[in-house]
């Protein structure tokens, strides 16, 4: 399977908005999300546009498998203890491509190929995401990582990757 990553541009706004709906559907039971009167989940339009414009340290990427759209991921600028860090904020893989190494390949190409520090934040209730990251830490060769529980964000598990670089 040929996996490709493409940085999305503002012209991809409709595609990202549509993929975001699938992302929200995927987490709707866990997060108790409802659709609006038009049958859509709430979309953080300004945040998505910011990522598409690569503003304020955010960027959005399309994941393709054998030429077909397979998902997306979003990066954001963040801070830990007053130091800048890039957050691997969201990743979504369409169900057809799950269990085939797509998300692991994305992590390898984005995080493992970069010496910079990274932040991963996962909702405590998102057991699939927590299991994915904990499994990734066992399978993949990270230079350094540690799990933290931020007191200011009790709903999250956070992982610091390559923290020695900060």
CATH number for 19? 3.40.630.30
Most confidently modeled range among 35-39, 102-106, 122-126: 102-106
Beta-carbon contacts of 29 under 8 Å, excluding residues fewer than 6 positions away, are: none
Whether 146 has a pLDDT exceeding 70, the answer reads yes
Token pair, residue 40, equals 């859509």
Report pLDDT for 165: 42
Beta-carbon contacts of 77 under 8 Å, excluding residues fewer than 6 positions away, are: 56, 57, 58, 84, 85, 86, 87
Report pLDDT for 98: 94
Residue 132 and residue 97 in contact, taking contact as beta carbons nearer than 8 Å: no
Residue 120 and residue 163 in contact, taking contact as beta carbons nearer than 8 Å: no
pLDDT, tens digit, 9 for 90 and up, residues 44-55: 888 999 999 999
> What is the C-alpha to C-alpha distance for residues 93 and 99, in angstroms, rounded to an integer?
10
Whether 133 has a pLDDT exceeding 60, the answer reads yes
Provide the pLDDT confidence category of residue 143 given band limits of 50, 70 and 90.
confident
Whether 20 has a pLDDT exceeding 90, the answer reads yes
75, β-bridge pairs: 59, 88
Number of domains in the chain: 1
**Mean pLDDT score of the chain:** 90
Domain that holds residue 110: 3-165
**Dihedral, CA atoms, 152, 80, 77, 110, nearest 10 degrees?**
-110
What is the β-pairing status of strands 83-93 and 118-123?
A: parallel
Token pair, residue 129, equals 């995401």
Report pLDDT for 164: 62
| 48 CB neighbour count, 10 Å cutoff | 22
Quote the percentage of the chain above a pLDDT of 90.
Answer: 59
> Where is pLDDT greater, at 92 or 141?
92
pTM: 0.89
Residue 77 and residue 15 in contact, taking contact as beta carbons nearer than 8 Å: no
Beta-carbon contacts of 43 under 8 Å, excluding residues fewer than 6 positions away, are: 17, 20, 21, 24
**Dihedral, CA atoms, 96, 54, 129, 139, nearest 10 degrees?**
90
């Amino acid at each position: 399977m040929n996996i490709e990553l493409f940085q999305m541009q503002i012209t991809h706004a409709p595609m990202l908005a549509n993929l975001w709906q699938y992302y929200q559907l995927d987490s709707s039971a866990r997060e108790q999300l409802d659709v609006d009167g038009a049958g859509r989940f709430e979309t953080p339009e300004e945040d998505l546009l910011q990522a598409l414009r690569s503003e304020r340290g955010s960027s959005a990427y399309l994941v393709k498998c054998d030429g077909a759209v397979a998902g997306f991921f979003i990066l954001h600028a963040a801070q830990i203890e007053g130091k800048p860090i890039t957050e691997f904020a969201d990743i979504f893989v369409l169900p057809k491509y799950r269990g085939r190494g797509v998300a692991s390949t994305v992590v390898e190409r984005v995080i493992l190929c970069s010496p910079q520090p990274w932040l991963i934040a996962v909702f405590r209730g998102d057991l699939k995401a927590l299991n994915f990251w904990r499994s990734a830490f066992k399978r993949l060769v990270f230079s350094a990582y540690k799990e933290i529980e931020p007191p200011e964000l009790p709903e999250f598990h956070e992982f610091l990757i390559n923290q020695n670089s900060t």
